[in-house]
Structure 1
Amino acid sequence: MGEINTCLKRTFTIFNIIFAIAGAVIILLAVLAQVVTSSNGAANLDNRLTGLIMLYVVGSITMVVAVLGAYGAHKEKKGPLIAFLVCMVIGSMIMLRVGFTTVFARPQMEPVLEETFRRFLPLDEAREDVQEMANAMQDRMQCCGLFSYKDWGNNIPVSCLCDNVEEEEEDKCMNVNYNFLMTQKSVYSKPCFPILMHYVLLITDITLAIVFTLAALALLGLGLSSLMIHQLRHPNRAPVMLTVPAIFTPQPPKYQELHNPPSYTTY
């Protein structure tokens, strides 16, 4: 015991507390994402369950690794610290790869999603689950259609209608003719896809911030755990003192030439 520097141990403990908090925040974000996607009708999206499971797994692993590192530092045991070091190496590599892949894929997200959503048109002929998702978005985001109210053809749903006077005064609505009888209805003027895309890019940016933060923490934990393992392996090693060799120290000459002064005879 007492083989690890006290300052290093305290720094490592603070690091693991921050690491555990990061894991708890990820789990909290997963819970919030689950509640929000369940309430707005997006529960039937294909990638929703996979994304939630990944968030729960990453958050749980982060907290477990933080506890492992704190235990190894407190007990000054090499086994848990080596396991922590391996987790940091693997975690930093995964996070950096996911982060850079997402950065390069981000500009392509909008055209890919637009192509995917255009396959659902027209909405009045789409599957029932797609119509339920569109109605839920329209009701929550106050929009109509994915790209225009015309996506519904002549069957504009109730979720598109503006029945609030305040919304009409705020220019959120417009009057449209939607059937052969030229019946007018007041519907939301904004389409849903741009609003949805805004939230998708916002979530992507938040995800990138989390990923790169975890990668930075993993690299920091890698360095701290490496120092602690080094101190446990070499507990009694004296510190190395660096000295500058006296290369340019002036040396006395190897020989001196004797000069005999001339003698003068006085008469």
Structure 2
Amino acid sequence: MAHVNICLKRLLTIFNIFFAIIGGLIIGFAFLGQTLSYSHGGGNIEGRGTGLIVLYVFGAVTMVVAVLGAYGSHKENKGCLIAFLVCMVIGSLIMLRSGIPAATMRPMLAGILEQKIRTALPLDTASLEDRNMAESIQQELQCCGLFSYRDWEDSIPDTCLCNQAVEREGICQTIFTEHMERKVIYEKTCFPIVLQYVLLIADIVIGFFFTLAVLALLGLALSSVMIHQMRHGVRAPVMMAVPAIFSAMPPKYEELKNPPEY
């Protein structure tokens, strides 16, 4: 078997160790999301189960592929490296196929989200699930209404109200309802804050897709070069021979002596 460059071999092994760490982080993130879902939803993770399963599977596949590549590079196993190369090709195509549409949709995300949220207005007549979600957002983000406090019509909930401690911070406003009832509510509306978090998550997801695509292309290139070297070997450097006529040693001369006189 032809030998490969030792630096390339170590670089591909380190790359796969890093790749395995990414897979472990994805599994850890999925476990954290599952734990938070249980703590906030009382064990009901309906609607999030598919996303968690995808994260678990993706993290596990990433770790398996990384182990395959690390073993192939360390043992110089051509079969494992070819399988790793195929996985890198498929992975890079999947990441680009997911990342490019996500990056294209990102500028339109604000309009799509606003259009979807406006279908739930007014909030006082919305479904119980929508009202509970809106009140939870108001309580967490200290805001009132999605676009305006008027989203609640004349039934402003307690989650919009400011207490005395918050009122001194200057983030509240005073309004009067149709029944001339004075209320001190949060000045900010919730939609701009929610949109900011949604766009941040979208940027993280897009960056995740393209980062994995670049890593897959790098793994593809390293494994391709290593497979090529295993087939054809590493070309040894050519040493130029110095002709004898240019030898550094000077020629030996015989000592000339005068012939004896008789």
Indicate the TM-score class for this superposition, using the shorter chain for normalisation: 0.7 to 0.9
Q: For the residues of structure 1 that align with 2:164 and 2:204, how far apart are their CA atoms?
A: 34
Paired residue type of 1:143: C
Paired residue type of 2:116: T
Paired residue type of 1:3: H
Equivalences, count:
238
Query: What displacement does 1:50 show?
Result: 3.9
Give 3-state SS (helix, strand or coil) of 1:182's partner: coil
Paired residue type of 1:176: I
Q: For the residues of structure 2 that align with 1:2 and 1:170, how far apart are their CA atoms?
A: 73
2:101 aligned residue: 101
Answer whether contact 1:146 1:191 (CA < 8 A) is retained. Answer: yes
1:6 aligned residue: 6
Query: What displacement does 1:230 show?
Result: 1.6
2:132 aligned residue: 132
Answer whether contact 1:141 1:192 (CA < 8 A) is retained. Answer: yes
Instruction: Tell me the percent identity.
Output: 55
2:220 aligned residue: 222
Provide the alpha-carbon RMSD of the alignment: 2.7
2:146 aligned residue: 146
Give 3-state SS (helix, strand or coil) of 1:175's partner: strand
Encode CA deviations 1:211-250: one digit per residue, 9 max, x unaligned. Answer: 1111111001001111122222234x64597xxxxxxxxx
2:120 aligned residue: 120
Give 3-state SS (helix, strand or coil) of 1:17's partner: helix
1:31-180 correspondence runs (5 A): 31-34=31-34, 48-165=48-165, 167-178=166-177, 180=178
Q: Does 1:22 align with 2:22?
A: yes
Answer whether contact 1:40 1:136 (CA < 8 A) is retained. Answer: no
Query: What displacement does 1:175 show?
Result: 1.4
Answer whether contact 2:37 2:44 (CA < 8 A) is retained. Answer: no
1:192 aligned residue: 190
Q: Structure 1: any 5+ residue segments left out of the alignment?
A: 242-267
Q: For the residues of structure 1 that align with 2:162 and 2:54, how far apart are their CA atoms?
A: 39
**Bigger CA drift: 26-35 or 5-14?**
26-35
Answer whether contact 1:4 1:232 (CA < 8 A) is retained. Answer: yes
**Bigger CA drift: 183-192 or 50-59?**
50-59
Answer whether contact 2:2 2:229 (CA < 8 A) is retained. Answer: no
Q: For the residues of structure 1 that align with 2:49 and 2:176, how far apart are their CA atoms?
A: 40
TM-score normalised by length of structure 2: 0.81
Paired residue type of 2:192: P
1:231 aligned residue: 229
